[in-house]
Amino acid sequence: MGKIIMLICLLFMVPTDMEVAEIEKMPEVNFYGIDYQFIEASADEAISKDTVLNEVYWLQESLPILQRVNYSIHIVNEKCIRDSTTTILGLSDLDNMEIYMFATPDDMIDNKCANYIKMVATEHTAAHEIGHLLRHDILSDEALLNYYKMRGGGIEGLDSLTEPDEVFAEDFAYLFGSPNAFPVNFGNILFEAPGEKEKEWIANNLTLGFYEKYPLEQMREAMGLP
């Protein structure tokens, strides 16, 4: 009976404007000219769709506008490698608002707590990639650079927005992602971990930016429409 109630709750929690789907093979996607290699994964290396969905639900509670953002997450039953050596757990197709998440290779996981480490890595990857999509869809480059400066980053000499984008996505995952049983270190050693100031900035600017870009969504929400 408890499982039935939980299933009903999950069905009602599914966001109306996003999709999580499992696919066997990575489709042809041009990730801005960067070459990636995709390798078939074993069943043990595959990530859990339920873990991804749970992270999405958590983020929707943390940042309600996410319930109205139109995007997709594809769970690919392959491992992703860049430059023959670097394992990639997630990629974002920003122009199409699509995220691709990949299997976690066995050699990345300590066998003593493999399932837990895979869960944490999956949660973090989902939140990080969603952070990329929200930044690209809602925040201007100017706003991103203002945030980067607030974080202590220098914009003199920047030849691309890669570093500010990565800092923002990592901050988003750290601040809004689901908590874990033991502390997870902040992923960028060049910056101190973000705090309440950064969380307030991100929440305010994403919310205001979203309703400025999609004013009809604000009207729908005010009228109680789905």
Q: Which two tokens stand for residue 41?
A: 């994964």
Query: Residue 189, Cβ neighbours under 10 Å: how many?
Result: 7
Give CA–CA dist 4/181, Å, rounded.
27
**Which residues 6+ apart lie within 8 Å of 178 measured at CB?**
54, 55, 58, 59, 123, 127
Count of H helices and E strands in the chain? 7, 7
Beta strand 98-101 pairing with 90-93: antiparallel
By the 8 A CB rule, do 171 and 202 touch?
yes
Give me the pLDDT at residue 189, please: 65
Angle formed at CA 29 by CA 26 and CA 31, multiple of 5 degrees: 115
By the 8 A CB rule, do 176 and 59 touch?
yes
Instruction: Please give the torsion angle defined by the CA atoms of residues 197, 201, 207 and 209, in that order, rounded to the nearest 10 degrees.
Output: 180
Give me the pLDDT at residue 187, please: 63
Give me the pLDDT at residue 57, please: 95
Give me the pLDDT at residue 102, please: 98
pTM above 0.75, yes or no: yes
Give me the pLDDT at residue 2, please: 40
Beta strand 90-93 pairing with 86-88: unpaired
Q: What is the pLDDT along the chain (226 residues), one digit of tens a residue?
A: 443 333 334 434 444 468 999 999 999 998 888 899 999 999 989 999 999 999 999 999 999 999 999 999 999 999 999 998 899 999 999 999 999 999 998 877 656 567 777 888 899 999 999 999 999 999 999 999 999 999 999 888 888 999 999 999 999 999 999 986 555 566 666 788 899 999 999 999 999 999 999 988 877 776 676 7
Query: Residue 91, Cβ neighbours under 10 Å: how many?
Result: 23
Residue 159: helix, strand or coil by DSSP? coil
By the 8 A CB rule, do 49 and 11 touch?
no
